[in-house]
């Protein structure tokens, strides 16, 4: 840990804490999950960077959406995302959440995940290599450092529109709104 | 699959055609009311493994073709050696409108999820099925999605592409 | 004069309430409360008085009333609980039928109990004892149905106990010619060991039934759960303690510690302590398996009685203090718990632990009361139960009874399990949909909660207040005075100092609380926003209540069935079939009777001639 | 002067416990990583996690949800004061081992209350398991404590430590069997594998921690670190003769490392299997030990 | 009496894959379990109808992420059968080696999932490390770690590169060399025995009635293996045994998986020894205009989880008219799992599920 690091720790412990302790929700959303076990086990050992799978969304601050998102999964993703405490970061893993990827014409997968929840970073590829996850993590560090990983703020501010999109894709959602919607005609 | 078996089948069940193209996948085509009886007969003959139930939508003929794939497990004292190599394709055709069929659960218990799936994806109703609940789908589709007249690409354009992106306010 | 007036007000008030109740229910309620409160005040005023008054005679036997520290200690406990129960009954019994009768029996039972502890001879003791038993029977079977069966079970066992006591009393009278307790105490030192043992066992049977000692406890669980809740509180917290009073009376007041310890070569004491240890273990595990809140508490009562008897029967000053203090504490927290469960039953209509849940937001005061009660029950530090249990453990360890201490400690851990089940299944977790509109407990129910909770915490932090009185009692029974200060006990090996624990805990709590407040923000969310593996929480179906300790159940169920209950049932069946056979002898045919007589006479003649018996 | 020392002790001993406990958490993860052929996180990773958790916005389910977690942490802190840490024991004269047995209740009861308010069956199952496990290991534990108390004829833990300093460690005395039994139940008391069913992530999604996020999880972690410290410190005090601070900590480290190896080489018990195990060998051994002690005296 | 519904998945540490089981629980006993699939449903079979025969290769393998290779194989076999394509001798051997490597990788993944489920991190991490050795081989052979698209109608895409044989041998030696370690720490661990013995027991009769195949059936004592019954590729060219066990519980299923893995390693060595030289593929017509004559075909192979079948229909066009996969997890995850979970303990849900080797994407497709 060099002097620069210590200075950063003293200045903004919150940011640094979030950087080096990214607990990812354990959610096998799609086929990208197959590369998560190698990443968290002996070969790549993500725990070196403080990345750890968390059993419950309450404990996590990173949501790695691994692969295509079917409509049914989207509901679970939204529920899980809303249960995570703020600040929280989302990373889309693989091509499918970006634009539908291979399943661009499937009737049951949603194509652009960022229409429904905010995404802080993307990892392209099908399937991205484990190293790509580390690149994403280090990139996320930079974003956190610069204060650009503000997806959760965006979600809070534009909750009305997000909720509208979610209900367009899923029909009426059972659970009450997470935030009061400020201005309907924004 | 030998000739005797073919003859036995044809003698018991009228109006069926048994077509032996290769050694391992004989095809039996039968009418809708006979399906359960044939399945039971095949099961008694040792073909006790329902591999799956498939469905093909022949749009031009306005018919659904249901395919029951039945094969045999190994037996200790195998009466007919080589039986386990055979997979019988039992086919039946039903009308596309008013698509209804008796369930095969009384014969093969594992028909349940297959029939649920076909009900959901093709809209075929299986009478007597204990739980024809949705299996895979969350959204409701006007036309069951696996029918040939359901255009997936059109649907994507209509539904998912029309949802706007959420841009930050400036 | 004070003692007579207490009893006169008690009995007179009971009947007056009944008569008044025919006229106006509001007046009746007022009178019942008035009598209870004034009795409390009167008893309170009697603090420190000692004396003995002969007020009447019965078949040439003087009936004597007396008061001393021991009597006062029990009397104040009795009267407090009854008063609080009566206050609680105001709303609990509202709109039910036969309420006049209920109040009559309640106050009558109370008067009888006061009479028991205030009586100075065995005749009046026995009379009051019987009044108590029968009025309790009528109250237990108040709800009819299953309650009637429970009541029958209770009264049959009670009568057997009373018969034993009656034999004991008659024997005492024929031996010493007096039934005055003080006089018997003076005379009994001359008695032979065997006679003393005989008397002790007879009385043990009587008091054991009442206090539900292990093999003769079977009446208690059904009786407690079937009785109306305010009376369950009375039943559990004081009525069964009359047995404890009896134990103290017979073991220490009459025999005295020295005689008691030598009884049967010391084996009597060991058997009693062993029974007490079994009384702790078995009911504790039985309580774990209950689904009915009151039945759970009933089994818990038996277990706690085990602690009290264990403390008393060990025969040392520290143990007796521990036992008596635990009696007092048990009065407080068990009354509180039964009343609280009564309040829940009153508001929700059920006491089934499997169908409640999430009531904390609806009945917060009741929750705090139950929390205080269970903390006392478990013996969490800074509640009164801790001090008394600590005293009992310490006695056992210092007197080298590690296995008894083991029973007591394991019982405590079992207590945690069933107490938590009680709290969790009723108050925590998800609120079911049918209880959405539950109202909080009415004020007349909250008042007893608050008073008893304060008692539990106050005497937990300042155990010296009751301990000083108990110390006086034990001193009057011939033990040494212990060095007791307001915070605990300063004794030789391992003192108890509550102030240290209290201060440490208070500081720790404040530090942690402060740290909690300054660290980070929190968002308060509703109970339906809970983790459900990414799925929305199903309404009303997301509370783990049924079979809370299922893995434990499966392991212990075969071993902790209520074997005694089954044994008694079998016994009753066998007796019934035997009586049936005897009955068949009387077939009603004259000829047969003639044959009987001839047979009998011939047997007499043969035995006379052939065997030359007499 | 004595008062000042006392106050100093009261402040220092929880701090020592906290630092050592958190260090153990970090070491735990590092050692596990090395056993699993990994590099592992930095040793201060638990601290980073705590910093992160305190900077997250936790969810609360209500007053008891907060109160329970505060109660459990306060209980753990108070418990530290009762335990001699290398000669420091601020509350030596307040009831001894019996009080320790009782103060040990605060942490699980606080967590249980808080978790119950969380309205989640996963938590309830976790608590049910934890309480059953507690009852299971308490049976041998009470036998062990009773043998100790009857062997040394005192209920004060400080006296027990002193007696060992004059004589020899309890582990190498007639209490040998008790020590073995204690070591056998140590994983259950620490809540490590094979006894981590109360917070099994693969079965009930980390059980009692399911609803904790932000500072609640941080508090729960600190409580976990403290209880780790307490259980090992108790073992060291009762059987390995305590000692001055560095010796004491070294002994703790040794016991802790054994614990990590046990954790790394076993899968998880089901709860009834755990109870069966704990009520069989450890109970028999500790029972025999108690009888032996009774016969000797 | 309050009903309790507990959800096991989709977002659950014990859930491997995106799948959900709704449990109706009393105490810690499960009264009823309801499988709730569909979280991964992409409508593959519908998508295939929009793509040409060759375009379907990249999409088919993505149906099952744990072992994509058997999916390629069965689709290639289906196409070959419909089009009447021949496969050269060497390609058969290459396919067999490739599929067996995939089986080893998949079984190591299963071992990871299972030991992780029991809370045994250590073995789980080792297994994942060894799986990576296999993935490295694939990467060298095809360029992809997970999705390879190696098998092609009429053969395989390319021959083994130079020295690849030795690399396979050394990788498999290092996996096989650790089998004693696995045995010591996991398979002969008393706690593994306690946790798995008697859990999720299914009789052979019931298994047959419910359409089981693969390990589930083999663990009940039936040597039902398509590789033996109806040999494809080069499985009839070498000698090998079908490992079975009799008890039918989770313990025997896991041990069957271990034995199969060892058997596969041996089989690869044998195949490598007898592999002939020659071409590795037959040219197919212009893939953009390739039409296949009208007809239908059913082919089946033994994937690492059991019987994998494909019913393929062509209407004479350049796209499949209908394709329907019979995946082994389908009966295991939707029927047998529900049956076995009834009466089980909450602690054993994951244990039973993974011992049945249920892979969610296969069910949903």
Q: Output the CA–CA distances (angstroms, integers) from residue D293 to B10, C405, C547, D152, D162, in the order listed.
A: 88, 15, 40, 10, 19
Question: What pLDDT shows up at residue A184?
Answer: 47
* Nearest neighbour of A79 by CB, restricted to C523, C526, C536: C536
* Nearest neighbour of C354 by CB, restricted to E1, E11, E28: E1
Residue A59 in contact with partner chain C when CB distance is under 8 A: no
Question: What pLDDT shows up at residue D95?
Answer: 64
CA distance A18 to chain D (A): 5
Token pair listed for C33:
């409360």
Burial A91-128 (b: 16+ CB within 10 A, else e): bbbbbbbbebbbbbbbbbbbbbbbbbbbbbbbbeebbb
Residue B133 in contact with partner chain A when CB distance is under 8 A: no
User: Is A128:A32 a contact under the CB 8 Å cutoff?
Assistant: yes
Residue A17 in contact with partner chain D when CB distance is under 8 A: yes
> Which residues, other chains included, contact D29 with Cβ-Cβ below 8 Å and sequence gap of 6+?
A47, D40, D41, D45, D46
- Please measure the distance between the N-terminal and C-terminal CA atoms of chain C and give it in whole angstroms: 59
CATH assignment at residue A132: 3.40.50.12280
Query: What are the chain D neighbours of A20 within 8 Å (beta carbons)?
Result: 45, 48, 52
Question: What pLDDT shows up at residue C430?
Answer: 82
Chains with at least 3 CB pairs less than 8 angstroms from chain E:
A, B, C, D
For A77-122, the DSSP string reads HHHHHHHSPSS-EEEEESSHHHH-GGGTT-TTEES-GGGTS--SEE
Determine, yes or no, domain membership for E159: yes
Residue A103 in contact with partner chain E when CB distance is under 8 A: yes
Instruction: Quick: pLDDT tens for C87-122.
Output: 888 888 777 777 888 888 888 888 888 888 888 888
How many CA atoms lie less than 13 Å away from C9 in the CB half-sphere? Answer: 21
Instruction: Quick: pLDDT tens for E28-55.
Output: 788 888 888 888 888 888 888 888 888 8
Q: Output the CA–CA distances (angstroms, integers) from residue E202 to C114, D109, E303, in the order listed.
A: 67, 41, 21
Query: What are the chain A neighbours of C529 within 8 Å (beta carbons)?
Result: 83, 175
Residue C538 in contact with partner chain D when CB distance is under 8 A: no
* Nearest neighbour of E11 by CB, restricted to C352, C534, C543: C534
When divided into structural domains, chain A yields a total of: 1
Residue with tokens 């399937």: A127
Instruction: Report cis status (omega within 30 of 0) of the bond before A87.
Output: yes
**Pairwise CA distance, residues E147 & D256, whole Å:** 44
Dihedral sign of CA atoms A39, A41, A47, A48 in order: negative
Determine, yes or no, domain membership for A124: yes
Residue E231: band (very low, low, confident or very high) from pLDDT cuts 50, 70, 90:
confident
State the Cα angle at C133 between C132 and C139, rounded to 5°: 85
Could you list the residue range(s) of the whole structural domain that residue E231 is in?
42-363
Query: What are the chain B neighbours of E311 within 8 Å (beta carbons)?
Result: 52, 54, 67, 69, 89
Determine, yes or no, domain membership for E192: yes
Checking if the pLDDT of C312 tops 70, the result is: yes
Average pLDDT, chain C: 81
Checking if the pLDDT of C493 tops 60, the result is: no
Tell me C254's DSSP state.
Answer: I
Residue B1: band (very low, low, confident or very high) from pLDDT cuts 50, 70, 90:
low
State the Cα angle at E326 between E323 and E329, rounded to 5°: 140
Residue C289: band (very low, low, confident or very high) from pLDDT cuts 50, 70, 90:
confident
Per the model's pLDDT, the better-predicted residue between C612 and D47 turns out to be D47
Instruction: Quick: pLDDT tens for C362-381.
Output: 888 888 888 888 888 888 88
Chain A residue with minimal CA distance to E58?
A102
Query: What are the chain D neighbours of E350 within 8 Å (beta carbons)?
Result: 202-203
Q: What residues does C488 pair with on adjacent strands?
A: C485, C497
Q: Output the CA–CA distances (angstroms, integers) from residue C93 to C20, C180, C342, in the order listed.
A: 16, 40, 11
Tell me D150's DSSP state.
Answer: H
Q: What is the mean pLDDT of residues C275-294?
A: 84
Instruction: Quick: pLDDT tens for B85-144.
Output: 888 888 888 888 888 888 888 888 888 888 888 888 888 888 888 888 888 887 778 888
For the CA atoms of D1, D5, D8, D12, the dihedral, rounded to the nearest 10 degrees, stands at 160
Dihedral sign of CA atoms C261, C266, C268, C270 in order: positive
Residue E209 in contact with partner chain B when CB distance is under 8 A: yes
Determine, yes or no, domain membership for A1: no
Determine, yes or no, domain membership for E170: yes
CATH assignment at residue E46: 1.10.645.10
User: Is C115:C124 a contact under the CB 8 Å cutoff?
Assistant: yes
| Nearest Cα to Cα of residue C86 among C107, C100, C109, C101 | C107
**Pairwise CA distance, residues D229 & A108, whole Å:** 52
Residue A185: band (very low, low, confident or very high) from pLDDT cuts 50, 70, 90:
very low
List the domain boundaries for chain C: 1-255, 564-613
Cβ separation of D103 and C501 shorter than 8 Å?
yes
Checking if the pLDDT of C16 tops 80, the result is: yes
Q: What residues does B56 pair with on adjacent strands?
A: B65
Residue B78: band (very low, low, confident or very high) from pLDDT cuts 50, 70, 90:
low
Instruction: Quick: pLDDT tens for D178-187.
Output: 888 888 888 8
SS3 E309: strand
> Do at least 3 CB pairs under 8 Å connect C with B?
no
Query: What are the chain A neighbours of B138 within 8 Å (beta carbons)?
Result: 70-72, 75, 108, 170
Checking if the pLDDT of C328 tops 50, the result is: yes
> Do at least 3 CB pairs under 8 Å connect D with B?
no
User: Is B116:B129 a contact under the CB 8 Å cutoff?
Assistant: yes
Average pLDDT, chain E: 85
Write down the pTM of the prediction: 0.88
When divided into structural domains, chain E yields a total of: 1
Cβ separation of C534 and A27 shorter than 8 Å?
yes
Determine, yes or no, domain membership for A100: yes
Cβ separation of C535 and A79 shorter than 8 Å?
yes
Average pLDDT, chain A: 83
Residue C95 in contact with partner chain A when CB distance is under 8 A: no
User: Is E224:E213 a contact under the CB 8 Å cutoff?
Assistant: yes
Element (H, E) at D81: helix D63-82
Q: What is the ipTM of this complex?
A: 0.87
Token pair listed for D152:
């040394």
Question: What pLDDT shows up at residue A186?
Answer: 42
Token pair listed for A143:
């974003």
Determine, yes or no, domain membership for E11: no
Residue C491: band (very low, low, confident or very high) from pLDDT cuts 50, 70, 90:
low
Residue A37 in contact with partner chain D when CB distance is under 8 A: no
* Nearest neighbour of E331 by CB, restricted to B24, B56, B110: B110
For C172-210, the DSSP string reads HHHHHS--BHHHHHHHGGGS-HHHHHHHHHHHHHHHHHH
Cβ separation of A70 and E50 shorter than 8 Å?
no
Question: What pLDDT shows up at residue A102?
Answer: 82
| Nearest Cα to Cα of residue B126 among B47, B35, B27 | B35
Question: What pLDDT shows up at residue B77?
Answer: 55
Checking if the pLDDT of D98 tops 60, the result is: yes
Could you list the residue range(s) of the whole structural domain that residue A137 is in?
8-170
SS3 E156: strand
Residue C386: band (very low, low, confident or very high) from pLDDT cuts 50, 70, 90:
confident
Instruction: Report cis status (omega within 30 of 0) of the bond before C585.
Output: no
Dihedral sign of CA atoms A119, A123, A127, A132 in order: negative
User: Is B147:B123 a contact under the CB 8 Å cutoff?
Assistant: yes
**Pairwise CA distance, residues E240 & E264, whole Å:** 9
Q: Chain D 12-31, CB below 8 Å of chain A: which residues?
A: 29
**Pairwise CA distance, residues C152 & C141, whole Å:** 8
Residue with tokens 């601020």: D90
CA distance B135 to chain A (A): 11
Determine, yes or no, domain membership for A176: no
Checking if the pLDDT of C13 tops 60, the result is: yes
């Amino acid at each position: 840990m060099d002097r620069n690091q210590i200075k950063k720790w003293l200045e903004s412990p919150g940011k640094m804490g979030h950087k080096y302790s990214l607990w990812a929700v354990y959610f096998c959303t799609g086929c990208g999950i197959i590369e998560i076990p190698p990443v968290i086990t002996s070969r790549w050992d993500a725990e070196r960077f403080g990345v750890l799978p968390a059993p419950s969304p309450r404990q996590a601050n990173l949501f790695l959406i691994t692969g295509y998102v079917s409509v049914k999964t989207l509901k679970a993703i939204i529920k899980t995302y809303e249960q995570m405490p703020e600040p929280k970061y989302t990373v889309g893993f693989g091509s499918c959440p970006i634009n539908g990827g291979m399943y661009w014409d499937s009737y049951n997968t949603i194509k652009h995940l960022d229409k429904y929840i905010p995404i802080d970073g993307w990892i392209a590829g099908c399937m991205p290599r484990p190293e790509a996850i580390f690149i994403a993590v280090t990139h996320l560090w930079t974003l956190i450092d610069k204060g650009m990983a503000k997806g959760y703020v965006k979600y809070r501010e534009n909750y009305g529109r997000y909720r509208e999109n979610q209900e367009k894709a899923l029909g009426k959602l059972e659970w009450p709104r997470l935030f009061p919607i400020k201005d309907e005609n924004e | 699959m030998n000739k005797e078996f073919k003859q036995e089948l044809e003698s018991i069940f009228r109006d069926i055609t048994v077509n032996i193209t290769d050694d391992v996948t004989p095809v039996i085509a039968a009418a809708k009311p006979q399906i359960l009886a044939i399945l039971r007969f095949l099961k008694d003959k040792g073909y006790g493994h329902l591999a799956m139930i498939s469905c093909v939508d022949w749009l031009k003929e306005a018919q659904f073709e249901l395919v029951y794939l039945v094969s045999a497990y190994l037996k200790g004292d195998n009466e007919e050696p080589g039986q386990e190599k055979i997979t019988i394709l039992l086919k039946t055709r039903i009308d596309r409108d008013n698509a209804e069929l008796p369930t095969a659960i009384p014969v093969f218990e594992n028909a349940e999820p297959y029939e649920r799936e076909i009900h959901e994806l093709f809209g075929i109703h299986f009478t007597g099925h204990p739980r024809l609940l949705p299996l895979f789908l969350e959204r409701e589709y006007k036309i069951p999605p696996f029918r040939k007249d359901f255009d997936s690409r059109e649907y994507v354009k209509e539904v998912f592409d029309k949802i706007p992106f959420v841009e930050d306010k400036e | 004069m004070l003692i007579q007036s207490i009893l006169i007000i008690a009995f007179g008030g009971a009947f007056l309430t009944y008569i008044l109740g025919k006229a106006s229910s509001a007046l009746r309620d007022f009178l019942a409360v008035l009598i209870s409160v004034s009795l409390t005040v009167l008893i309170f005023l009697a603090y420190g008085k000692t004396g003995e008054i002969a007020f009447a005679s019965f078949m040439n036997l003087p009936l004597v009333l007396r008061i001393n520290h021991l009597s006062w200690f029990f009397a104040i406990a009795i009267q407090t609980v009854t008063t609080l129960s009566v206050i609680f009954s105001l709303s609990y019994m509202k709109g039910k039928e036969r309420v006049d009768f209920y109040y009559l029996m309640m106050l009558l039972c109370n008067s009888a109990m006061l009479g028991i502890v205030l009586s100075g001879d065995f005749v009046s003791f026995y009379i009051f004892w019987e009044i108590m038993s029968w009025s309790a029977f009528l109250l237990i079977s108040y709800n009819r149905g299953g309650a009637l069966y429970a009541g029958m079970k209770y009264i049959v066992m009670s009568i057997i106990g009373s018969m034993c006591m009656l034999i004991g009393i008659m024997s005492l009278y024929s031996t010493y010619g007096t039934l005055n307790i003080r006089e018997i105490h003076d005379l009994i030192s001359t008695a032979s060991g065997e006679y003393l043992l005989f008397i002790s066992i007879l009385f043990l049977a009587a008091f054991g039934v009442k206090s539900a000692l292990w093999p003769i406890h079977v009446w208690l669980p059904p009786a407690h759960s079937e009785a109306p809740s305010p009376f369950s509180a009375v039943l559990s917290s004081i009525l069964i303690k009359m047995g404890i009073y009896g134990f103290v009376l017979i073991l220490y007041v009459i025999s005295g510690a020295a005689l008691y310890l030598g009884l049967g070569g010391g084996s009597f004491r060991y058997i009693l302590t062993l029974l007490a240890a079994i009384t702790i273990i078995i009911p504790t595990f039985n309580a774990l398996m209950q689904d009915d809140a009151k039945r759970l508490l009933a089994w818990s009562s038996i277990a706690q009685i085990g602690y009290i008897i264990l403390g008393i029967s060990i025969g040392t000053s520290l143990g007796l203090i521990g036992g008596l203090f635990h009696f007092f504490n048990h009065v407080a927290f068990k009354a509180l718990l039964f009343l609280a469960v009564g309040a829940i039953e009153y508001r929700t209509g059920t006491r089934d632990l499997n169908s409640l849940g999430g009531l904390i937001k609806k009945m917060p005061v009741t929750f705090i009361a139950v929390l205080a009660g269970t903390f006392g029950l478990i013996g969490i530090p800074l509640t009164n139960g801790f001090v008394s249990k600590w005293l009992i453990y310490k006695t056992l360890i210092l007197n080298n009874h590690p296995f008894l201490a083991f029973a007591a400690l394991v019982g405590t851990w079992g207590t945690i399990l069933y107490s938590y089940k009680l709290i969790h299944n009723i108050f925590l977790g998800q609120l079911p949909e049918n209880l959405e509109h539950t109202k909080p407990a009415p004020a007349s129910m909250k008042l007893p909660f608050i008073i008893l909770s304060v008692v539990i915490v106050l005497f937990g932090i300042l155990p010296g207040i009751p301990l000083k009185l108990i110390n006086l009692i034990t001193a009057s029974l011939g033990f040494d005075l212990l060095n007791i200060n307001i915070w605990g006990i300063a004794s030789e090996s391992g003192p108890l100092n509550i102030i240290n624990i209290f201060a440490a805990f208070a500081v720790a709590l404040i530090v942690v609380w402060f740290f909690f407040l300054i660290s980070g923000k929190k968002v308060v969310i509703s109970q339906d926003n809970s983790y459900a593996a990414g799925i929305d929480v199903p309404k009303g179906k997301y509370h783990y209540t049924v079979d809370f300790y299922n893995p434990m159940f499966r392991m212990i169920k075969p071993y902790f069935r209520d074997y005694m209950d089954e044994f008694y049932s079998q016994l009753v069946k066998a007796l019934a079939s035997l009586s049936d056979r005897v009955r068949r002898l009387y077939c009603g045919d004259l000829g047969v009777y003639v044959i009987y007589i001839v047979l009998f006479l011939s047997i007499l003649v043969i035995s006379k001639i052939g065997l030359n018996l007499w | 002067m004595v008062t000042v020392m006392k106050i100093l002790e009261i402040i220092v001993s929880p701090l020592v416990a906290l630092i050592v406990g958190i260090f153990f958490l970090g070491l735990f993860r590092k050692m596990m990583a090395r056993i699993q052929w990994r590099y592992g996180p930095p040793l201060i990773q638990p601290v980073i996690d705590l910093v992160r958790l305190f900077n997250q916005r936790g969810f609360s389910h209500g007053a008891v949800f907060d109160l329970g977690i505060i109660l459990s942490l306060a209980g753990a802190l108070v418990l530290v004061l009762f335990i001699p840490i290398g000669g420091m024991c601020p509350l030596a004269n307040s009831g001894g081992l019996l009080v320790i047995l009782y103060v040990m209740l605060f942490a699980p009861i606080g967590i249980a209350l808080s978790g119950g308010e969380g309205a989640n069956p996963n938590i309830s199952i976790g608590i049910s398991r934890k309480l059953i496990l507690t009852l299971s290991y308490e049976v041998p534990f009470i036998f062990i404590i009773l043998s100790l108390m009857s062997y040394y004829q005192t209920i004060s833990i400080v006296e027990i430590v002193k007696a060992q300093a004059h004589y020899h460690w309890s582990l190498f005395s007639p209490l040998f069997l008790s020590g073995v039994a204690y070591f056998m139940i140590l994983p259950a008391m620490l809540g490590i594998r094979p006894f981590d069913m109360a917070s099994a992530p693969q079965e009930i999604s980390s059980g009692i921690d399911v609803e904790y996020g932000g500072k609640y999880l941080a508090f729960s972690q600190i409580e976990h670190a403290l209880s780790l410290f307490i259980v090992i410190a108790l073992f060291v005090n009762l059987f390995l003769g305590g000692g001055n601070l560095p010796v004491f900590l070294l002994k703790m480290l040794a016991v802790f490392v054994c614990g990590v190896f046990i954790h790394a080489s076993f899968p998880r018990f089901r709860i009834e299997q755990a109870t069966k195990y704990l009520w069989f060998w450890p109970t028999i051994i500790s029972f025999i030990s108690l009888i032996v002690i009774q016969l000797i005296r | 009496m309050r009903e309790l519904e507990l959800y096991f998945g989709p977002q659950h540490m014990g859930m491997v894959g995106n799948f959900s089981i709704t449990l109706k629980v009393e105490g810690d006993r499960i009264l009823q379990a309801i499988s709730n699939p569909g979280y991964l449903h992409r409508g593959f079979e519908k998508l295939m109808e929009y793509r040409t025969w060759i375009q379907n290769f990249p999409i088919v393998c993505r149906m099952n992420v744990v072992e994509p290779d058997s999916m390629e194989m069965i689709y290639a076999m289906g196409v070959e059968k419909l089009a009447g394509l021949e496969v050269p001798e060497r390609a058969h051997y290459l396919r067999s080696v490739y599929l067996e490597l995939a089986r080893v990788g998949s079984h190591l993944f299963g071992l990871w999932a299972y030991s992780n489920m029991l809370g045994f991190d250590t073995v789980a991490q080792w297994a994942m490390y060894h799986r990576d050795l296999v993935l490295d081989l694939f990467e060298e052979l095809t360029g992809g770690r997970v999705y390879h698209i190696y098998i092609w109608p009429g053969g395989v895409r390319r021959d083994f590169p130079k020295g690849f044989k030795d690399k396979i041998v050394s990788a498999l030696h290092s996996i096989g060399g650790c089998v004693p370690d696995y045995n010591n720490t996991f398979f002969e661990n008393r706690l593994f025995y306690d946790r798995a013995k008697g859990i999720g027991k299914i009789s052979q009769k019931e298994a047959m009635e419910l359409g089981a195949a693969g390990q589930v059936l083999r663990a009940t004592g039936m040597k039902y293996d398509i590789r033996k019954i109806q040999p494809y590729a080069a499985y009839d060219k070498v000698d090998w045994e079908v490992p079975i066990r009799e008890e039918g519980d989770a313990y025997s299923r896991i041990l069957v998986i271990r034995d199969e893995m060892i058997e596969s390693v041996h089989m690869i060595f044998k195949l490598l020894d007898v592999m002939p030289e020659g071409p590795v593929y037959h040219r197919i017509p212009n893939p953009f205009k390739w039409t296949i004559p009208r007809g239908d075909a059913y082919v089946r192979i033994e994937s690492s989880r059991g019987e994998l079948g494909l019913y393929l229909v062509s209407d004479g066009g350049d796209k499949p008219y209908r394709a329907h996969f019979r995946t082994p997890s389908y009966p295991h995850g939707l029927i047998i799992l529900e049956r076995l979970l009834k009466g089980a303990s909450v602690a054993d849900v994951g244990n039973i599920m993974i011992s049945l080797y249920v892979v969610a994407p296969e069910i949903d497709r």
